């Protein structure tokens, strides 16, 4: 089996968005997510010598990112979170609603937790397919669909004509549809 | 012939209009042409329904992406770090 090798110079193009989406699903804050992805790349660079080549680059980076996310929660949980001890004294019949304000607020996330898990898987699946596209198609599709930029803006930035852009978008969408077909259509 | 091509379009034009309409950038005339074409062409009809599905999947997934500037910053940091290492 050929051993996998690392190409740090291509990490950002190939994996940044995937890792970013992975992180967002777990920390729910774009800025923190961005920092964590950056930290992951740096940590990966530092320990690149330890990469044995058994896993793919992506898997390896995700495993580092997981540690970074756990570290992030450890850090944020250290001082303030532990100082606050909350004890409930349920009185009366209505035991399900606690005394603490947090427990009285409707938890919208819990209502459709299954949906959100599925949506995250879907997101990562789409991102994986996008990463498989040729760079130009991936760029244009991301700018248009995910960042929601105007056609004109993209044309100016990439120096292409609108009809050129639509052909690229068309190719990207066709490729994505067939990439997602087996699991999600 | 010339008059015909104003309303009846070929598949290449149809799929492009279909893509545009996914981003709400097709004019009403475009949409009219597209719908007329879809009545006549099974392949494009299939593409159109798949395309709509793709759009709904993408919006459901609530994907995020880093902007190009953010990526450039990341690349620079990686580059300087790997230079330091050598």
Residues A64-79 pLDDT 10s? 999 999 988 888 777 6
Q: How many CA atoms lie within 13 A of A109 on its CB side?
A: 5
Last residue of a domain, one of A79, A111, A145: A79
Burial of A5-38, coded b for 16+ CB within 10 Å and e otherwise, reads ebebeebbebbbbbbbbbbbbbbeeeebbbebbb
Residue A169 burial class via C-beta count within 10 angstroms: exposed 0-12, middle 13-18, buried 19 and up:
buried
Instruction: Please state, rounded to an integer, the average pLDDT across all residues of chain A.
Output: 81
Nearest to B54 by CA among A112, A131, A162, A125: A125
The answer to whether the CB of A65 falls within 8 A of the CB of A19 is yes
Residue A105 lies in a domain: no
Does the structure show a pLDDT above 70 at A81? no
Cβ distance of B62 and A167 shorter than 8 Å: no
Cα B12 to Cα A145, A151, A162, B15, B43: the distances in Å are 21, 20, 15, 6, 11
Cβ distance of B78 and A42 shorter than 8 Å: yes
Task: Say which DSSP state A145 is in.
Answer: I
Residue A50 lies in a domain: yes
Burial of B21-56, coded b for 16+ CB within 10 Å and e otherwise, reads bbeeebeeebeebbeebbeebeebeebbebbeebbe
Specify whether A137 is located in the same domain as A75: no
Residue A107 lies in a domain: no
Asked if the C-beta of A147 comes within 8 angstroms of chain B's C-beta atoms, the answer is: yes
The answer to whether the CB of A143 falls within 8 A of the CB of A149 is yes
Does the structure show a pLDDT above 80 at A61? yes
User: Residues of B numbered 43-82 whose beta carbons fall under 8 angstroms of chain A's beta carbons: which are they?
Assistant: 47, 50-51, 53-54, 57-58, 60-68, 70-71, 74-75, 77-79, 81-82
Q: To probe the interface with B, which of A8, A9, A12, A122 has the most B CB atoms within 10 Å?
A: A12
Q: How many structural domains does chain A have?
A: 2
Last residue of a domain, one of A79, A95, A125: A79
Domain of residue B48: give its range.
4-85
Please compute the mean of the pLDDT values over residues B19-32 and round it to a whole number: 90
Q: How many structural domains does chain B have?
A: 1
Domain of residue A31: give its range.
1-79
Higher pLDDT, A138 or A101: A138
DSSP assignments along A61-124, one per residue: HHHHHHHHHHHHHHHHTSSHHHH--------SS--SS-SSHHHHS--HHHHTHHHHHHHHHHHH
ipTM of the complex: 0.81
Specify whether A1 is located in the same domain as A71: yes
Question: Percentage of residues in chain A with pLDDT exceeding 70?
Answer: 80
pLDDT recorded at residue B4: 52
Residue A103 lies in a domain: no
Does the structure show a pLDDT above 50 at A43? yes
CATH of the domain at A68: 1.10.1740.10
pLDDT recorded at residue A104: 66
Write out the two tokens for A41: 């790349």
Please compute the mean of the pLDDT values over residues A145-173 and round it to a whole number: 88
Task: Say which DSSP state A2 is in.
Answer: P
- CA gap B69, B37 in Å, rounded: 41
Residue A155 lies in a domain: yes
pLDDT recorded at residue A92: 55
């Amino acid at each position: 089996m050929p051993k996998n090798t690392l190409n740090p110079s291509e990490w950002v193009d190939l994996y940044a968005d995937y890792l970013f989406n992975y992180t967002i699903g777990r920390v729910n804050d774009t800025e923190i997510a961005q920092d964590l992805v950056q930290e992951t790349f740096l940590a990966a660079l530092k320990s690149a010598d330890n990469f044995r080549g058994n896993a793919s680059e992506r898997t390896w980076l995700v495993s580092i990112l997981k540690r970074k996310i756990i570290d992030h929660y450890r850090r944020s949980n250290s001082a303030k979170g532990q100082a606050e001890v909350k004890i409930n004294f349920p009185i009366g019949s209505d035991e399900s609603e606690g005394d603490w304000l947090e427990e009285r607020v409707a938890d919208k996330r819990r209502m459709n937790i299954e949906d959100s898990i599925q949506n995250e898987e879907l997101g990562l699946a789409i991102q994986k397919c996008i990463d498989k596209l040729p760079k130009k198609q991936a760029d244009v599709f991301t700018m248009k669909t995910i960042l929601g930029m105007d056609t004109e803006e993209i044309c100016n930035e990439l120096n292409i004509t609108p009809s050129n852009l639509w052909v690229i978008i068309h190719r990207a969408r066709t490729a994505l549809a067939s990439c997602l077909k087996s699991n999600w259509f | 012939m010339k008059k015909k091509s104003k309303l009846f379009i070929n598949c290449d034009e149809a799929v492009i209009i279909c893509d545009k309409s996914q981003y709400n950038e097709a004019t009403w005339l475009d949409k009219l042409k597209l719908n007329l074409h879809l009545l006549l062409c099974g392949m494009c009809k299939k593409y159109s329904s798949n395309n709509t599905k793709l759009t709904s999947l993408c919006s459901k997934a609530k994907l995020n992406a880093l902007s190009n500037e953010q990526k450039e910053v990341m690349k620079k940091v990686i580059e300087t770090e790997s230079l330091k290492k050598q």
